[in-house]
Structure formats: C-alpha cells, structure tokens
Amino acid sequence: MKSRLTMMTVLACASIDAFAVDPQSIQTESGFDITPLLSSGLKYDNNIASSSSNETESWIFTLTPSVRAVLDDGVSKTELSAAAFNGTYFDSSGDNFTDVLLGGLFDTSLSEHSKINLKADLVWGHEDRGTGITEGLNTDQDQPTRFNTQTASGYYEYGSTMAPARLRFGTKYYNKEYMNQHEVTQYRDYDSLLGGVHFYYDTQSGTTAVFQSSVEDISYDLVDPQATRDSKDSHVKVGAEWQITSITSGDIKIGYQNKKFDDSSREDFSGLAWAMNANWSPFSYSHFNLGTGRRAKDPLQDGDYVKETTFQLGWTHNWTESVQTQLNYNRMEENYVGVSREDEGDAYTASVKYAFRRFIDVTFFTTMTDKTSSVPGIEFDRNITGISFNFSL
C-alpha cells in the first residue's frame, strides 16, 4: 500500500481547506483574513506497525489545530498557513508523534498578459513503523521514522485568460532529510531540482489542450554502497483539461518518461507514463471520481526503481444538507526493477459526516487495507475505525 510519507501533509492540508461546514474568518486591520480550525478524533487501529504477524493494536487520540491567513486585493494574493498533527497511542507510547506544516503562497498578476506564482512549504513529518523506508522491518523499530522536507516552487505564465494560448515556465526545489533510524535511512537523504514548461490551448469548447515537458535532477547526499542513485528524470506528456458544464471535469496526460542513472550499473527506465483524474456529477448532490496513474519512481528500499500503477474510485453523496457519505477504493501495483519484488495493495474507505451546525461536524470512518507481496514480511492487513470532530469559528 502507499507509504505514510505524505500522511501529515495530506491531513494538515485537509484541515486547512475544509474541515468545517462553513468556516468564518477573522478580518484584521492589516487586510488579512485569518481562519483558525481544529480537528480532534479517536480511532482504533488493529495493526499500528503494518505487521505481517504478531500485530500490535491501539486506540489513538488525534488533535490537529491549523490556521490560514489570506490577503487578497484582486490583483495579488498572499497566503500563510500552519498546522500541527498530533497522535497519542494509548497502548504504544513509542509511536506517539507530532508533525508540523508551515506554508506560504504568493500569486500576482504583473499585467493583463502575465502572472507569477511562488510557493514554499516546510514539513516536519513521520512514517509509521512498518511503512515507507521501514516497510517489513516493524519488529526492528521502536518508534516512527522522522523526517523533514523543504519545497520551493514557482512559475511565470504568459498569456491572457481571454486568449486561447498560454505558456508557463516553472521550477521546483525539493529536499528531504531523515532525522532518525540512520542505520536504515542514511542513504536516502536527497534533493532535487526540476524545470519545466507547459503550453495550454483553449479549444473554446470547455476543453484545454496541454503539452508539458520537464527535467528533474535528483541527487542523494551519500552514495549507496551498491551504486549511486543519482539520476535525471525526464517527462514529455500531452493531454487535455476539461470543464464541460457542472456535470463533468478533469484532466488526462499521457506520454513518455525517461529515468537515466549516473551509474551505468543501475537499469534505466524508458516507457509510457500517464496521469488521469475525472469527475462526474450526474446530480448536484452526488459526485463520482476516477483516477489512475503510471510512473517510475525511486524506491525507499532496495532496487533501481519501481514501476508504479495506481487506480482510484470515489463516490460522495449529500443525502441532506447536513449528511454526507463517502466511499473510496484505492489500488496500487508496484513492480521493483533491480530486485525480485512485486507488491499489490488495496484500500477501502467509508465515512459518514454529519454537520451539527455551521461551525461543527462529526465524521464516522473506517478504512481496510490489504497488501500482498512476493517478499515475505511485507504483506499485511490493517483496519482503522474511528470518529473525528471538526470545529471552526
């Protein structure tokens, strides 16, 4: 199954965006609108370390405070955000964690035909025992794997929103450093620098044609004793983005990926890559989502690279103004190159949200995860069930 690498980021961003039914902001004299939010929950996890045997179970209390400040004058937008995600395990205190996210965004129009967008994020996060870089090593670890990441990105876009064609030049810097478990993580600290260009052409029929090309230079801090993992990752894709009335929207991009390692002893990748996300709303209160993707990525453990294919299907239905249900299915298939390993994972999630008031809602949820692998010790079953409360002003 997908590792917990991005768990904190996903949860923190969710808390910032839309935990409450209709969060209200505090308007300051400086012009910033400040929106504080709070989420708290209790869940039961029957396999906290994703173990294939001798599972450890625990109740977990979670607390996620967050705040977002936005200054928007119609020409420029500045956004600052902060969130903390705390987990307290009743039966395994060594797994307790506190993750933190700090983010900033600046977007401005230089003229009628050009704009600049800048964004930066700092994350102090964790991977649960038995996930990510410690997958299959759950019995050898007594605490989560901690890391921090820094991301800085930006783009310059030329072309009026009223014109059919737009051109975007972008860049992104990313750095990741593990903070513990150095006997396992010491060769996985790295940074990357990406540069790319996007061309958009509006067909005037609700669809925009897209061409994109990018090159990413990936460099690891220490050389892996087997061979350096430094590489250059190139993508060329074509596709479309669409918004056809309120019923259907989405995007699809398909093309070619080339991953070339600096060390010739590692096997390069050249082949098909794609990403697709489609939304369909047959009614204003019912929404379906379908997604799929394929790419070659760096492994967190052994191997040269991993050929990853993902599928996602979701349904959100608003039964009344205050009751919403969600059903989601995610599947991941991973084929490791350089070692003999194939993984498959399925995750099923169901939730019911009830909005008591404009400023508070409660969600009951359950997630069932099943992972299989050709390597012993990687496979596991994991079920999580809980309740969460979301509060705003």
E strand or H helix at 11: helix 7-18
CB-CB neighbours of 91 under 10 Å: 12
Enumerate long-range contacts of 161-167, CB under 8 Å, 24 or more apart.
163/113, 163/202, 164/201, 164/202, 164/203, 164/204, 165/199, 165/200, 165/201, 165/202, 166/199, 166/200, 167/197, 167/198, 167/199, 167/200
pLDDT digits (tens, 9 = 90+) for 264-282: 999 999 999 999 999 999 9
Report which DSSP code applies to 339: T
What is the pLDDT, as a whole number, of residue 21?
52
CATH number of the CATH domain containing 278? 2.40.160
Q: Mean pLDDT throughout 247-258?
A: 96
Q: Is residue 166 helix, strand or coil?
A: strand
* Per-chain mean pLDDT for the chain: 92
- Of the ranges 74-78, 160-164, 195-199, the best mean pLDDT one: 195-199
Q: What is the mean pLDDT of residues 132-158?
A: 91
**Read out DSSP for 196-260?**
EEEEEEE-SSSEEEEEEEEEEEEEESS--SS----EEEEEEEEEEEEEETTTEEEEEEEEEEEEE
DSSP codes, 58-96? EEEEEEEEEEEEEEE-SSEEEEEEEEEEEEEESS-GGG-
Residue 187 domain flag: yes
Could you tell me if residue 241 is inside a domain? yes
2 within a domain of the structure (yes/no): no
* In the chain, % of residues over pLDDT 70: 94
Report the C-alpha gap between 92 and 113 in whole angstroms: 56
Evaluate if residue 300 carries a pLDDT over 60. Answer: yes
Residue 203 structural domain: 38-58+103-392
Region 28-56 average pLDDT? 93
The two counts, helices (H) then strands (E), for the chain are 2, 19
Average pLDDT over residues 348-371: 95
In a domain, 16, yes or no: no
200 close to 210: Cβ distance less than 8 angstroms: yes
In 10 A of CB 271, how many CB atoms? 12
Residue 338 lies in a domain: yes
Contact indicator for 300, 3 with CB cutoff of 8 Å: yes
In a domain? residue 250: yes
- Integer CA distances (angstroms), 252 to 19, 166, 240, 289, 330, in order: 28, 18, 6, 13, 18
Of 36, 31, 33, 98, nearest to 62 by C-alpha is 98
How much is the pLDDT for 118? Answer: 98
Q: How far is CA 88 from its chain centroid?
A: 23
Reading phi first (left if > 0) and then psi (alpha if -120 to 50, else beta), residue 250 is in: left
| Token output for 128 | 């649960």
Confidence of residue 112 (pLDDT cuts 50, 70, 90): confident
Q: How many domains does the chain have?
A: 1
Token pair recorded at residue 351: 């939730």
The answer, as to whether pTM is greater than 0.85, is yes
Is 217 inside any structural domain? yes
Q: Cα separations (Å) of 216 from 84, 261, 334?
A: 30, 12, 22
Q: Are strands 323-337 and 114-127 parallel, antiparallel or unpaired?
A: unpaired
**What span, in angstroms and rounded, lies between the C-alpha atoms of 49 and 59?**
13
Give residues with Cβ within 8 angstroms of 241, minimum separation 6.
200, 207, 208, 210, 250, 251
> Is position 291 within any domain?
yes
Distance (Å, rounded) from C-alpha 91 to C-alpha 49?
12
For residue 29, name the pLDDT band (cuts at 50, 70, 90). confident
What is the rounded distance in angstroms from the CA atom of residue 376 to the CA atom of residue 348?
A: 23
